[in-house]
Amino acid sequence: MLSDTSQHQGKLQRQKQVLIGSILIAGLCSIIYELLISTTASYFLGDSVRQFSITIGIYMAAMGLGSWLSRWINGNLLMAFIAVELVLGLIGGLCVPFMYLAYAYTDLVQPVMILLILTVGTLTGLEVPLLTRLLEHQDVLARNLSNVLSLDYLGALLATLAFPFLVLPWMGVFQSSLVFGLLNIGLGLLNLWYFAPQLDLSRKRLLGWSGALVTSFLAVLLIFSQGLLSHWTNSLYSDRVVHREQTPYQTIVLTQYKDDTRLFLNGNLQFSSVDEYRYHEALVHIPLSQHRAPRRVLLLGAGDGMAARELLKYPGVQSITMVDLDPAVVELARTDHRLITLNQGSLDDPRVTTVAHDAMLFLKESTEHYDVILADLPDPNNVSLARLYSREFYRLAKKRLAPGGIFTTQATSPYFAPKAFWSIHASLAAAGFERVIPYHVQVPSFGEWGFVYASRLEQPLKPTEPAVQTRFLDRTTFAEALTFPRDLMPTDPVKLSSLDNPTVHDYYMDGWTYWH
């Protein structure tokens, strides 16, 4: 009798361990799904703060809904838990493919995102009450709740730590969703196998076949994921995709049509080889023509090497420090034959030093001073990027300028996002530069594009003939760049942008959302 009691206790303990382990994995998978959904939405829709805020709010509310619905689940709770895991694994595994399909073929990315969050959140909300009730015969309620919730939260912690450092860099969003969907389904099948003696035969077979079918489906998608991803990626771009890469920071895509090579970061066009020289000549040669002897230049962004190419035309430039957050962009510009042809191998020139670092942190930590600082940074389409167009960022840049130094930044379109453009101008003026002057040029692939020049000297910006060979910029186009027609001038007062109040982001989204 004592032996039977010990065996029974041992069996209960093992069952408890399986269920507790299930809590940890279930919590991890659920958070991974939400991170994947919000990250993918940020890639497609921009404004990462908005997407993550929507995700967190709806997910928490949906978990509450799931917990409330769990009261109506009676009968075999173990069967219900296994069914929830199988459905959650299927939906979670397909969350990113669903969003790719929505983006490629419909205008319903946001509704699909919300529906996925609601579904995953509701199913996740069912898990904790079910597991608590399954364990109610083994411990008192207080201990059960503490065990279930602590392990669920631990799983969430592991997910949030693994996602940016392991999951996203190794697998990308598409494959990650399939892998964790399979893990979630495997969790359900493990419980099905372990608790098989306690389950009804017909329902056990139904769950087993369902699990096997769903596993096979996701496994096939995972095997062919690269081909599917290439197909869907190609459908997102009008030209043939010749390179696609997911990094911890962004999705890098290179397209090719005849002699037109285009670089996209998170779906946003960075340049077209047909007319990039207009942009880069305006960015580089206008400020350098105003400095008496530019020797040390700091490039913020510009990982494609095009701005460095223009700077290297000046024999007096002794050093170029290029700071780009994503080393993968720099590596692509160094190794892809299309980009090497365009940037003329500028990144391998001994005068060019590349640094993989955040531009703002670099300015804050650096003790060097530069004659010219050029900011060729992505547009402020999320709050993280908006800080690189803030008054505080420009103050840091001013501190890193040598006496008589010049700072110039790209400043989005004064036509498509006029308030964002003039907000950048106001933020630079508020940073304390002695002279702040806007200018613009026509870049066909972008449209009307703006820049803002800022100097530590109180002197006008004088149109001059560039001292180096150019394809577009001359004294005439220089003078035209300083002239703004009436429809490009601000009609209402605009606010400067700061770290605390990134108004440039709101202005940018309002402007471009209208045109898109």
Count how many Cα atoms sit within 13 Å of the Cα of residue 109 in the half-sphere of its side chain.
18
Output the pLDDT for position 513: 79
Q: Using one digit for the tens of pLDDT, what is the confidence trace for 366-375?
A: 999 999 999 9
Class of domain 273-515: alpha beta
| Average of per-residue pLDDT values in the chain | 89
- Output the pTM of the full model: 0.79
3-state secondary structure at position 402 = strand
Confidence (pLDDT) at 342? 96
Fold of 2-231: Growth Hormone; Chain: A; (1.20.1250)
Decide if 377 contacts 385 (C-beta within 8 A).
Answer: yes
| Residue range(s) of every CATH 1.20.1250.20 domain in the chain | 2-231
Give the separation between CA 65 and CA 192, rounded to whole angstroms: 26
Question: Low-confidence residues of the chain, pLDDT below 70?
Answer: 1-16, 136-147, 516
pLDDT, residue 107, reads 83
pLDDT at 147: 67
Residues in the chain: 516
Residue positions annotated with a catalytic role:
376
Q: Strand 370-376 vs strand 447-455: parallel, antiparallel, or unpaired?
A: unpaired
Identify the CA nearest to 35 among candidates 54, 50, 55: 55
Residue limits of CATH 3.40.50.150 in the chain: 273-515
Residue 37: CA count within 13 A, CB half-sphere: 34
Q: What is the pLDDT of residue 458?
A: 87
Q: What is the pLDDT, as a whole number, of residue 407? A: 98
Q: For residue 326, give both structure tokens.
A: 């994503």
How many other C-beta atoms lie within 10 A of the C-beta of residue 256? 15
* Per-residue pLDDT tens digits for 190-226: 888 888 777 777 778 888 899 999 999 999 999 988 8
- What are the tokens at 427? 């933020």
